[in-house]
Amino acid sequence: MNTTERSSAAAAAQPAKTARCFSPEESASEWWITLLLFGLTCAYLYLFRRYSAMDPDEGIILQGAQRILRGEVLYRDFFSFYTPGSYYFLAALFKIFGNSILVARTVLVFFGGIFSVVNYLLARRVCSRGSALCVAAMVTLTCLPYRFLVLHNWDSTLWACLALYCAVRWMESLRWTWAFATGSLTSLTFLFEQSKGAGLALGMGAGILVVAYLGRQKEMLAKQVLLAAGAGLLWPIALTFGYFTAQHGITQMLADWLWPLQHYTRANRVPYGYQNWSDSARHLLFGSGTVGARLVALLAVTPSLLLPVLPLLAIGLLGYWIVRMRRKQAPPAKCSYYVMLNAALAGLLLSVVLVRADIVHFMYLAPLFYLLFAWLLDGRDIPGRVFRAAKPLLIACFVLAFLSMSAALLLRATVARFTAETRRGVVKLPSPDTVLPSLQAHTTPGETILVHPYLPLYYYLTGTYSPSRYDYLQPGMSTPAQYQETLAQVASKRLRVVLLETSFMDKIPTSWPETPLLAIADDPATDYILGHYHPCQRLQSPAGWRFLLLMRNDLPCP
C-alpha cells in the first residue's frame, strides 16, 4: 500500500472511531415529533380508559390504596408481597384527584405516552426516523391495550424505561446528574416491583462495567459519578425503611417481601412464553370458523408469539456487540449503546423467568423489548446477507401482524356496550355483570364483607372491605395460616354478606397449572362459608364466571 492509500485509509477509519450515536434531544424537529407522538398516544389510549372485564388482578393495588386512604399502613395492617410504591403512589393520586377507577386509568394513559416516547428516543439513536416511529406506534397500539389494568407491573415498567433512558444519557454525557437519576429510578423500579428492579440493576450494572472496562470508558466510574449513582440508589430505600420503621411495620414489611420466595413461584411456574389460553379459547382461535377467520386470528396473536423471542435475541446481540467492542470493529459509541441496552434487557428477562414467564409478564416489559423490533426493521446493524434479503418480507409481516392485533384490542374495548354504575365510577363492560348491582344493593359503603377466593376488584368498586389482612386467598399460594386467620375474622365479625365464586376452580388449570392437587381439593374457606351461610342469588361476571351471593344463616335473603 502506498503513502496515498495509507492516508486515505486512515482518514476513512478516523470517523469510525470518533462517531457517536445520533442524539434526538439536540434536534428541534425531533422534539416536535416526540411531543406529537406523546399526544397521539395519549389520545388513542384514552379510548380504553373505561373498559373493564373485571380482571381479578386489577383490584389488588386499587383496594390497597383504598385501605391506605382510610388510615391503614401497608404490611402492618394488610398483607402484600409487593414492594410499596404502587400502593402509596395511587393513594396519593386518589387523595389529590378523588378516589375513582377513572383517575387510576387516566394515569395509565400518560404512562402509555411515556412508554412510546422513551422507546422512540432510545431507538432513534441508531435507527432511521421511520423505523423508530413504526415501533413506537407498535408500543402505542399493542402494549397497554393488551392489558389496560391498574397494576404494579405497568408502574414499575415506567420507572424501568426512564432508568434505562437516563443510563444511556449517563453513558453519553458522563455527567453525575444522569448517574444520580439512573440510580434513583432504578431504586424506584425496585420499590414498585422488587424482581424487576433487581433484574434491571443487575443488567445495567453489568452493562456499565463492560462499557467502562472493555469499551475503555472508565470516566463512567469516576468517583463523583459513582457517588451520585449510589446516592440515587440509596435515598428511596432509606425513606421507605424510615417510614415503615416509624409506623412499626418494618419487620412485617421484610417478611412480606421475602414471602414470594417460598410461596409465589410454586403456583405460578409456567413454561417459557406460556400463553394462558384455555382449551375453549384455543378452539375458538384456531379450531372454528373459516380458513380466512383462522388466518386473521393467527395474525392477531403473532406478536404475542414473537415477543418472548426478543429478549433471547438480545442475549445473542449482547455477545455479538461485546466481541465487536473488544475487536474495535465498530464505533465505540454504537458498541456501548448496544451493550448497555442488551445487558439491561437480559437482566429484565431474568426477572421474568424467575417470577412467571408467561406472555402477560413479557407484555409488561414490551415497551423495552420492542427495541429489538426497531433494530430488526432498520436492519443497518444486523449482520447477514440472508437477513438483508428477507428484510422487506419481515417488515410486511410485522406491520400486518401488529395491525391485526391492535384492531382486535381496539374492537374489544370500543364495542363494549354495557355499563356498570359503581361506587368508584362508571365502567364499560363486554357483557352484563349481575354481581356489581347485587353487591351494591345488599351492602353499604364501608361495610366489611368477604369476597372469596380472588376478586378484590369487587371490594374496590363497591367501596367494601375484607374482614382480614388479606384481600384474596389463592389455592396453592396462600398458606393454611392465612386461611385460618381470615376465617377467624369472618367468625368474630359475624359478616352479613359473602360473595363466593363457584367457578374459580375452572381457572386453575389454565392460569396456575402447577397448583398442587391437595390445595385444590382442600379449601377450608369454602367449607366454612357453605356451613355458616346460605345462598340467596346466582350471579355472573362479564367474563362468564359464576358466583353465589350468600347471607349468614340466621339472616333471611333480602
HEC string of 188-230 equals HHHHHCHHHHHHHHHHHHHHHHHHHHHCCCHHHHCHHHHHHHH
11 three-class SS = helix
The CA distances from residue 524 to 452, 481, 492, 495, 529, in Å, are: 11, 11, 17, 17, 9
Give me the residues paired with residue 358 across strands: 274
| Closest C-alpha to 90, from 82, 80, 101 | 101
Could you say which DSSP state residue 48 is in?
Answer: G
| Closest C-alpha to 347, from 178, 163, 181 | 163
Unique residue bearing C-alpha cell 392437587: 517
Cell of residue 39, nine digits = 399526544
Q: What is the pLDDT of residue 70?
A: 96
Q: Are strands 497-501 and 450-452 parallel, antiparallel or unpaired?
A: parallel
Q: Tell me the Ramachandran region of residue 494: left when phi exceeds 0, alpha when psi lies from -120 to 50, beta otherwise.
A: left
- 489 and 534 in contact (C-beta within 8 Å)? no
Where along the chain do its domains lie?
A: 21-51+100-412, 418-552
Unique residue bearing C-alpha cell 422487506: 392
- 416 and 23 in contact (C-beta within 8 Å)? no
- 408 and 521 in contact (C-beta within 8 Å)? no
Give residue 346's Cα distance to chain centre: 16
Measured between alpha carbons, how far apart are the two ends of the chain, in Å? 98
- What stretch of H or E contains 92? helix 85-97
Unique residue bearing C-alpha cell 359473602: 498
Q: What is the pLDDT of residue 6?
A: 43
pTM (2 d.p.):
0.92
Unique residue bearing C-alpha cell 415501533: 135
d(Cα 88, Cα 253) in Å, to the nearest integer?
Answer: 14
Q: What is the pLDDT of residue 218?
A: 85
- 59 and 458 in contact (C-beta within 8 Å)? yes
Give the up-direction half-sphere exposure of residue 311: CA atoms within 13 A in the CB hemisphere. 26
| Closest C-alpha to 537, from 546, 529, 527 | 546
* Main-chain dihedrals φ then ψ at residue 470, nearest 5 degrees: -115, 125
Give residue 28's Cα distance to chain centre: 32
- 120 and 37 in contact (C-beta within 8 Å)? yes
Q: Are strands 418-422 and 425-429 parallel, antiparallel or unpaired?
A: antiparallel
DSSP-based helix, strand, coil % in the chain, nearest 5: 70, 5, 25
Give me the residues paired with residue 78 across strands: 74
| Closest C-alpha to 44, from 97, 110, 93 | 110
Q: What is the pLDDT of residue 2?
A: 44
d(Cα 406, Cα 424) in Å, to the nearest integer?
Answer: 28
- 125 and 23 in contact (C-beta within 8 Å)? yes
d(Cα 478, Cα 191) in Å, to the nearest integer?
Answer: 23
| Closest C-alpha to 240, from 388, 73, 425 | 73
Give residue 554's Cα distance to chain centre: 45
Q: What is the pLDDT of residue 19?
A: 53
Cell of residue 64, nine digits = 390497597
Residue pLDDT tens, the chain, 558 long: 444 344 334 333 333 333 568 999 999 999 999 999 999 999 999 999 999 999 999 999 999 999 999 999 999 999 999 999 999 999 999 999 999 999 999 999 999 999 999 999 999 999 999 999 999 999 999 999 999 999 999 999 999 999 999 999 999 999 999 999 999 999 999 999 999 999 999 999 999 999 999 877 888 889 999 999 999 999 999 999 999 999 999 999 999 999 988 888 777 889 999 998 877 777 777 777 778 778 888 888 899 999 999 999 999 999 999 999 999 999 999 999 999 999 999 999 999 999 999 999 999 999 999 999 999 998 888 877 777 777 788 888 888 999 999 999 999 999 999 999 999 999 999 999 999 999 999 999 999 999 999 999 999 999 999 999 999 999 889 999 999 999 999 999 999 999 999 999 888 888 888 888 888 888 899 999 999 999 999 999 998 999 999 999 999 998
Angle of CA points 330, 336, 340, to nearest 5° = 140
Give me the residues paired with residue 547 across strands: 501, 539
- What stretch of H or E contains 429? strand 425-429
d(Cα 157, Cα 363) in Å, to the nearest integer?
Answer: 10
DSSP states of 250-291 as a string? HHHHHHHHHHHHHHHHHHH---TTB----HHHHHHHHSSS-H
d(Cα 129, Cα 403) in Å, to the nearest integer?
Answer: 20
Unique residue bearing C-alpha cell 456499565: 208
